[in-house]
Amino acid sequence: MDAEILVCGGGVAGAMAAVAAARQGAQVLLLERYGFLGGNATAGAVAQFNSWQTANGRRVVAGLAQEVVERLRRYGAAGEHHAFVMSTGHRMDRVEYAPEVLKLVLDDMVAEAGVQPLLHAVLVAVERQGRRIASVQVATRSGVATLRPQVVVDASGDMDAMRQAGAPFLELDAGEALQPATMMFRFGPVDFARFDALPAGEVARLAQQGFAQGHLARAALHAARDPFSSDGWFNISRLAIDATDALALGRAEIEGRRQAWRAAQYLRAAVPGCEAGRLLAFGTQVGVRETRRVQGEHLLTAEELLQPVAFDDAIAAGAYPIDIHPAAGGELEYAALGADHAYQIPYRSLLPQGLDNAIVAGRGISATHRALAAIRVMTISMAVGQAAGTAAALAVRMPRAAALRQVPVDALRRRLLADGACLA
């Protein structure tokens, strides 16, 4: 069961990391707790990939992320790229997709690349020797297995492998709180011709009314349309928790379903286009926006995103705004960017301090709370995952295998560009 590269976490960041590494010829094992891949994109049922481009239409995310969308469309399971108006009144671009079919797409990509998926498995312990991870124990349906990878890619969201390895983590600053989680729910049928035609002011009024009356946990009426039906996946709950606390996470799952039920009743009673709808399904899990953030070789800040700073070691780009969902209250903090504003993510923010053969991807990279509010979205996470997997594959081919800091950044960037990624 050993492999050169172990990817912990089969969400979209981890899946892209595994595929990227395997396509470079590395032996890759992909560890995932569920029986399917996708994380928040499938189990969390987020159902839309947001912010592929700047406000004026310049593409900043492509590569494997774009391939995912193209494969979804071959299944008839993704809509066209289009703009929509958020409850804040700001415009955003997105691709809506069917979460269940995304499971098939990720299965296809992993299988074709030669990745070995290890599903229904959880990390138990990490043995560290000096600055290197020597072995990883995982609990599987066949028992506990000990793995000895050359490189560990932690894309688990909660940075479970890095925690077990003793990596340093960032703290929240005074006045900051972890962004809340969300229980997505499927509701339908919806008359989207009427729902989408609602003026932004009327949407805001209905959202505020539902929040003030206690029907909605946040003042929003945000939905992604299912490509196969007239149903929508609604993102209008709010769960202020630390999702690394097992008891708190369980309580949030329960409360999230209650919030979804109340919200569904309000949609039926008050929102045009939703009168005939019913609550049809919950996400398999709550969608978690933020938990642990590793302390890396570079701390990416919101100020660097807003300038934006051009990094010599940029390995991904993004244009999603700073979008902070507060732990309490109905509003969110949303800082829109300029018409052609994009930012870069440096390779150093993927490298945890004190470990030589580990790299991270997804929402746990080295970024401040405010910077994470922009770069946490799934499009950018896929781009970062592709970079992390590519770097891991380059590392295991070096004379002294798995020296992530010694990976030539120019070679990494050339490889990413050749594979269709956007770096600026």
Three-state secondary structure string covering the chain: CCCCEEEECCEHHHHHHHHHHHHCCCCEEEECCCCCCEHHHCCCCCCEEECCECCCCCECCCHHHHHHHHHHHHCCCECCCEEEECCCCCEEEEEEECHHHHHHHHHHHHHHHCCEEECCCEEEEEEEECCEEEEEEEEECCEEEEECCCEEEECCCCCHHHHHHCCCECCCCCCCCCCCEECCEEEECCCHHHHHCCCHHHHHHHHHHHHHCCCCCCCCCCEEECCCCCCEEECCCCECCCCCCHHHHHHHHHHHHHHHHHHHHHHHHHCCCCCCCEEEEECCCCECCCCCCECECCCECHHHHHCCCCCCCEEEEECCCEEECCCCCCCCEEECCCCCCCEEEEHHHHCECCCCCEEECCCCCCECHHHHHHHCCHHHHHHHHHHHHHHHHHHHCCCCCCCHHHCCHHHHHHHHHHCCCCCC
Looking at 234, 253, 282, the residue that finishes a domain is: 282
- Amino acid 400: pLDDT: 65
- Amino acid 95: pLDDT: 97
Q: Does one domain contain both 168 and 22? A: yes
Looking at 258, 282, 306, the residue that finishes a domain is: 282
Q: Is position 324 within any domain? A: yes
Instruction: Give the number of domains in the chain.
Output: 2
Q: Is position 180 within any domain? A: no
Give whole-number Cα distances, 13 to 16, 156, 202, 258, 394, in Å: 5, 9, 36, 30, 18
Q: Does one domain contain both 326 and 211? A: no
Looking at 282, 310, 330, the residue that finishes a domain is: 282
Q: How far apart are CA 251 and CA 329, in angstroms?
A: 19
Q: Does one domain contain both 156 and 246? A: no
This prediction has a pTM of 0.96
Whether 165 contacts 355, CB under 8 Å:
yes
Q: Does one domain contain both 303 and 262? A: no
Residue listed under structure tokens 């379903």? 257
Q: What is the block-wise mean pLDDT of the chain (424 residues), using blocks of 10 residues? A: 93 98 98 98 97 94 98 97 70 93 98 98 97 96 96 97 98 91 98 94 94 94 94 95 96 98 98 98 97 98 96 97 76 78 98 97 97 97 98 90 88 98 96
- Amino acid 367: pLDDT: 98
Q: Does one domain contain both 204 and 92? A: no
Q: At CB < 8 A and 24+ separation, what contacts does 73-80 make?
A: 75/101, 75/104, 75/105, 76/227, 76/228, 77/101, 77/102, 77/105, 77/227, 77/228, 78/227, 79/225, 79/227
Q: Is position 208 within any domain? A: yes
Q: Does one domain contain both 233 and 204? A: yes
At residue 106, φ and ψ (nearest 5 deg) are -70, -35
Q: Is position 142 within any domain? A: yes
Q: Does one domain contain both 57 and 112? A: yes
Structure tokens that stand for 334 in this block: 């949303």
Q: How far apart are CA 256 and CA 204, in angstroms?
A: 22
Q: Are strands 82-85 and 232-234 parallel, antiparallel or unpaired?
A: unpaired
Q: Is position 307 within any domain? A: yes
Which one-letter amino acid corresponds to residue 243? Answer: A
- Amino acid 331: pLDDT: 62
Q: Is position 424 within any domain? A: no
Q: Is position 249 within any domain? A: yes
- Amino acid 92: pLDDT: 80
Parent domain of 333: 5-175+290-418
Q: Does one domain contain both 28 and 68? A: yes
Residue listed under structure tokens 């994380």? 39
Q: Does one domain contain both 89 and 236? A: no
Q: Is position 93 within any domain? A: yes
Chain centroid to Cα 144, Å, comes to 28
Q: Does one domain contain both 23 and 116? A: yes
- Amino acid 403: pLDDT: 86
Q: Does one domain contain both 304 and 407? A: yes
Q: In CATH, what number is assigned to the domain containing residue 380?
A: 3.50.50.60
Q: Does one domain contain both 170 and 314? A: yes
Whether 123 contacts 138, CB under 8 Å:
yes
